[in-house]
């Protein structure tokens, strides 16, 4: 990205459980000085109300720019709009299916399609269990197209004691995929190995 272009990441939020991943990603990206462009699907707005005490305004205030999920003419719909890439946190199986099929029914899936065609990082924090064959095939398809399927799988070697620590590990590792270095979780090292082995 040229020096006169802002360092931007698109953050999509779809309706799977785990809106906390998007909330934390937006907070971390702001701390890193990365401009965020947020799109929240209709289902994600419902999930937010179920899973958090945040209002629509609370969530949107964490982003620099917010788009309506039906605004398929937004700048994010064009490859000429430069970004570092896109994170969808969480990624529902519906959104995954739209991306895998190339059917862009919302601005989230359209922006993801643009991210892939421009060969930019697309990180999908998929949330579902158990997985059926359709899910697995869609994951294979998007991976072959250049996306990174990144389920928020907890790591326990750091002995987390809070939900926040578990969330931070997954979000921090997902942001690693964009070449962003954070210090929000303990990274595996000789020092950590010695500490947890005691």
Q: What is the 3-state secondary structure (H, E, C) of 6-63?
A: CCEEEEEECCCCCHHHHHHHHHHHHHCCCEEEEEECHHHHHHHHHHCCCCHHHHHCCC
pLDDT over 70 at 75, yes or no: yes
pLDDT at 169 over 80: yes
**5 pLDDT above the threshold of 80:** no
The CATH class for the domain spanning 8-197 reads alpha beta
**Bridge partners, residue 13, by sequence:** 40
- Per-domain residue ranges of the chain: 8-197
Tokens standing for 57?
């305004």
Task: For the sheet with 148-149, list strands across it.
Answer: 65-68, 35-40, 8-13, 86-91, 122-126, 148-149
Written as six digits, the tokens of 105 are 């029914």
* CA pair distance 67, 72, nearest whole angstrom: 9
Tell me the angle at which helices 107-117 and 93-101 cross, rounded to the nearest 10 degrees: 50
Band of the pLDDT at 187, cuts 50, 70, 90?
A: confident
Q: Containing H/E element for 176?
A: helix 163-176
Among 71, 59, 75, smallest CA distance to 26 is for: 59
pLDDT score at 4:
66
State the average pLDDT for the chain. 94
Question: 7-16: per-residue pLDDT in tens?
Answer: 999 999 999 9
């Amino acid at each position: 990205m040229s020096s006169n272009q802002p360092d931007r990441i698109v953050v999509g939020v779809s309706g799977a459980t785990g809106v906390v991943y998007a909330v934390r990603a937006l907070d971390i990206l702001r701390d890193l000085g990365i401009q965020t462009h947020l799109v929240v699907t209709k289902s994600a707005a419902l999930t937010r109300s179920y899973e958090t005490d945040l209002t629509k305004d609370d969530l949107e205030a964490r982003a620099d720019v917010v788009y309506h999920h039906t605004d398929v003419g937004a700048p994010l719909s064009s490859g000429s709009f430069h970004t570092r890439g896109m994170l969808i946190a969480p990624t529902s199986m519906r959104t995954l299916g739209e991306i895998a099929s190339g059917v862009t029914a919302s601005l989230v899936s359209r922006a993801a399609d643009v991210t892939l065609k421009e060969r930019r990082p697309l990180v999908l924090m998929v949330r579902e269990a158990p997985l059926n064959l359709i899910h697995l095939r869609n994951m294979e398809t998007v991976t072959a197209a250049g996306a990174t399927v990144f389920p928020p799988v907890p790591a326990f070697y750091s002995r987390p004691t809070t939900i926040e620590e578990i969330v931070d590990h997954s979000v921090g590792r997902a942001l690693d995929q964009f070449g962003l270095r954070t210090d929000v979780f303990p990274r595996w090292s000789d020092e950590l190995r010695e500490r947890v082995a005691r």
